[in-house]
Structure 1
Amino acid sequence: MDITILGAGVLGLSSALQLADKGHKITIFAHKFPQSFSIDYTSDWAGANWRSVCSNDDLAMQRFEGDTLKHFLEMAKTHPQLVRKCMSYDIFDPREPDDNDARMIRKADVGNGELPWFATLCNNFKVLKPLEDGQAVPTDEREILPEGAAFGIAFETVTLNAPAYVQYLLGELRQRDNVNIVEGKVDALADLPGKVIINCSGLGAKYLTDVQDANVYPTRGQTVLVKNTTNLVDTWSRVGEKTLSYLIPRPGTRLVDGHEEDAGLIVGGCQQPNCYNAEVDEELAETMLEWARTLYPVIFPADHKFEIIRHNVGLRPSRKGGVRVEADQLKDGRPVVHAYGIGGWGFQSSWGIAMRVAELVALL
């Protein structure tokens, strides 16, 4: 089948690779590609790691995330420079949960005794609670909650070198004879060639004249990439009333002046809905570094000096109502499969969403 995919972010490239490997003729049409380092090419700026954010009743997202985790765990065996198995330690300070409290895990899931859906998916899942008088201290200091924390969770997961991973996907596609890659812009899906269109346009879905999805909006993210001087392997997060902090070490290396150095450590973060500002907020950057110094005493001393590699600013392609993955039809009768609006969770659901895209194409 002759298929055109609009968009070359992690969703577009993952979908293209799965469809190409099923024998379809693929054209990837995009304005931005890996290594664009543009605010509107989000995949270059991602952390990235696998930390589920979906609720216990969101079966569709559970499938996307679960299938993706299984894929990444296999990749960690064959491509450790791109994907690495690790532990995740997520700490929650006392706060009032709200309807949008999906940033790491819904507090109520653990606070009310209900384990999150991925407790049975991820190995070595544990709930971490404050020590009580007379209770034995855990032998693993990472499982000791810092002072003031309400609870935490720990589980096996993966961390990715996000920019290297999307470069890998693009490289795999370039090696296939049934894939054509075109750089350019379109105003509408109808302007694209192909018998089937896959819409992985991200924020572009808001502006395509034959989509105009008013539910799509940007969520600005900003992080700091620093040298991983402590050789941190695991991912960490700590969420409170006024903090959204996370640490994501990237596997692999980066080339600096002809020699290899560690790929770095992502220090975050923030979520700023409907903000298009491409400039680095220096005050916010310092706040995130200060969070890292003070919120993770098991990792950093209070006077730790970070060696900054780069500041990252990107626009996450968010959507009210969640990601859109469904079949549709253009006015000219050609079928469309939409896959956009995943927000900041693109990498951790990418392979599963691409699997669903391939299923929908097979049903056409």
Structure 2
Amino acid sequence: MSRSEYDAVVLGCGVLGLSIAHELKRKGLKVAVVGRELPEDVQSTGFASPWAGANWHSFAVNEAEERRDEFTFREFARLSKELPDLCERRPYFYYWSEEGRWQIPWYKDLVFGYRDLPPSEVPAPFKFGVTYEAYTLNTPLYLQHLASTLRALGVPIIRQRVSSLDEAYSLPSVGPVNLVINATGLGARTLLGVEDPLVHPAKGQTVLVRAPDVKECYGLVDLLSRPGQSSYIIPRPGPDSHVILGGCYLPNDWSTGPNPEVATLILQEAHKLCPRLDGKGGKGTWKDIDIISHNVGLRPVREGGLRCEVEERTTGQSRRDLLPKGGKVGGGRKVAVVHAYGIGPAGYQSSLGVAIEVGGLVDSWMKQGANGARAKL
């Protein structure tokens, strides 16, 4: 078997794959990133990353998730100072009318200036509210920033469809490697050698609008009558005055077309949260909102949450009858894969914390000299 100049292949060009590649490069590994979609494919529904809002609003339900989100939050503070067109700190406002709907979040003391709003600061028709400051991202630009900095560091980002995990250890464009990072998102459901039945999509739908007067994030805490529907407003950093209006969360819905009824409800509810969206100082209606596009993305959800672990394996032993030719090269090799998929709607706000965690797993595996890997870290 010819020797490769690379130590690892990262499968997946979403925000997790690119963030992990950065962390491994920082640790001194030579890595290549491989994906069916590239970071520039911002119109593709084949991966979720281009379609996210995205704001830092933690959904963490355990200590591991809190740790990932907190690390990312603190890194966003640095990013907002260095690249304000990609990441910006701004006020958040959450409103509701049904008493008891809001639960004090674990991150109350992490964000800036968390406080309950007095009735005089809660706009009609709502009765309660909270505010604090956190970060929002311009997701398409952030993806391209991650990609361009990787390329500048000599990390190739290769467009290639990989249908089996075994193929990734012997890609002609990379050469043989003993380590693969599986950041394939929804692809983990069908990737031969993984085929995780716990992975499923959760459809999200948003409306991208232009609203120069809206600089704050807003969210509705009350439930809406349509199942899976919610209401939130996320201004994107940068000079374009773009604002994301959402949204919905529809598990196991694979459709990638926007639903006009959902879009109408998104616009109506967003205008209630922030009438200034109409561009007329709140004196217009939701029909006056300046629409740029209707968007749909499929969140890569996994029952039980993110899978983040090392698996040692032997190539050529899983579904050999279905393996493409490339997956049969070097059969019987002792290798490893670090799985990092199933993040659901938390990709951006957890991404840098997940990358650190994956880096630690890789570090431990290589220090053990497992499977003949170079213990170079």
Q: Same fold (TM over 0.5)?
A: yes
The worse-fitting range, judged by mean Cα deviation, of 279-288 and 308-317 is 279-288
The worse-fitting range, judged by mean Cα deviation, of 296-305 and 346-355 is 296-305
- Give the CA RMSD over aligned residues: 1.8
Cα displacement string for residues 192-230 of structure 1 (whole angstroms, at most 9, x for unaligned residues): 122211010000000012111111000111101011232
Q: Is the Cα–Cα contact under 8 Å of residues 95 and 126 in structure 2 kept in the other structure? A: no
Which of 38, 41, 55 aligns to 1:49? It is 55
1:78-97 to structure 2, matched below 5 A, reads: 78-94=82-98
The alpha-carbon distance between structure 1 residues 35 and 181, as it changes in their structure 2 partners (threshold 3 A), is closer
> SS of the residue aligned with 1:294?
helix
Q: 1: distance between equivalents of 2:241 and 2:166?
A: 41
Partner of 2:160: 184
Query: 1:25 aligned to 2:45?
Result: no
- 2:312 maps to a residue whose letter is Q
Task: Report sequence identity in percent.
Answer: 37
Partner of 2:115: 126
Which of 30, 40, 46 aligns to 1:40? It is 46
Q: 2: distance between equivalents of 1:263 and 1:171?
A: 24
Cα displacement string for residues 315-362 of structure 1 (whole angstroms, at most 9, x for unaligned residues): 000111111111112233311111111111100110000010101100
Q: Is the Cα–Cα contact under 8 Å of residues 190 and 330 in structure 1 kept in the other structure? A: no
Q: 1: distance between equivalents of 2:265 and 2:216?
A: 22
Q: 1: distance between equivalents of 2:69 and 2:273?
A: 28
Cα displacement string for residues 262-293 of structure 1 (whole angstroms, at most 9, x for unaligned residues): 15110110111111111121221111101112
Q: Is the Cα–Cα contact under 8 Å of residues 94 and 241 in structure 1 kept in the other structure? A: no
Partner of 1:267: 245
Partner of 1:104: none
Q: Is the Cα–Cα contact under 8 Å of residues 52 and 139 in structure 2 kept in the other structure? A: yes
Q: Is the Cα–Cα contact under 8 Å of residues 201 and 340 in structure 1 kept in the other structure? A: yes
The alpha-carbon distance between structure 1 residues 93 and 244, as it changes in their structure 2 partners (threshold 3 A), is farther
Q: 1: distance between equivalents of 2:58 and 2:124?
A: 23
- 1:245 maps to a residue whose letter is S
- 1:351 maps to a residue whose letter is L
Q: 2: distance between equivalents of 1:354 and 1:267?
A: 28
- 1:182 maps to a residue whose letter is I
- 1:328 maps to a residue whose letter is E
Q: 2: distance between equivalents of 1:59 and 1:116?
A: 13
Q: 2: distance between equivalents of 1:273 and 1:91?
A: 25
Partner of 1:100: none
Which of 216, 219, 232 aligns to 2:199? It is 216
Partner of 2:146: 169
| Offset, 1:145 | 4.8
Q: TM-score, normalised by structure 2?
A: 0.82
Q: 2: distance between equivalents of 1:354 and 1:64?
A: 9
Cα displacement string for residues 61-97 of structure 1 (whole angstroms, at most 9, x for unaligned residues): 000100000001110001001000111112234289x
Partner of 1:315: 298
| Offset, 1:234 | 1.5
The worse-fitting range, judged by mean Cα deviation, of 278-287 and 335-344 is 278-287
Partner of 1:363: 364
Q: 2: distance between equivalents of 1:331 and 1:195?
A: 10
Q: TM-score, normalised by structure 1?
A: 0.85
- 1:44 maps to a residue whose letter is P
Which of 233, 240, 249 aligns to 1:247? It is 233
Q: 1: distance between equivalents of 2:252 and 2:241?
A: 30
Q: Is the Cα–Cα contact under 8 Å of residues 13 and 169 in structure 1 kept in the other structure? A: yes
Q: 2: distance between equivalents of 1:361 and 1:323?
A: 17
Partner of 2:320: none
| Offset, 1:46 | 0.9
Which of 6, 14, 17 aligns to 1:9? It is 14
Partner of 1:101: none
Larger radius of gyration: 2
Moved over 4 A (4+): none
The alpha-carbon distance between structure 1 residues 263 and 13, as it changes in their structure 2 partners (threshold 3 A), is farther
Q: How many residue pairs end up in the alignment?
A: 325
Q: Is the Cα–Cα contact under 8 Å of residues 146 and 297 in structure 1 kept in the other structure? A: no
Unaligned 5+ residue runs, structure 1? 97-106, 132-136, 138-142, 254-261
> SS of the residue aligned with 2:8?
strand
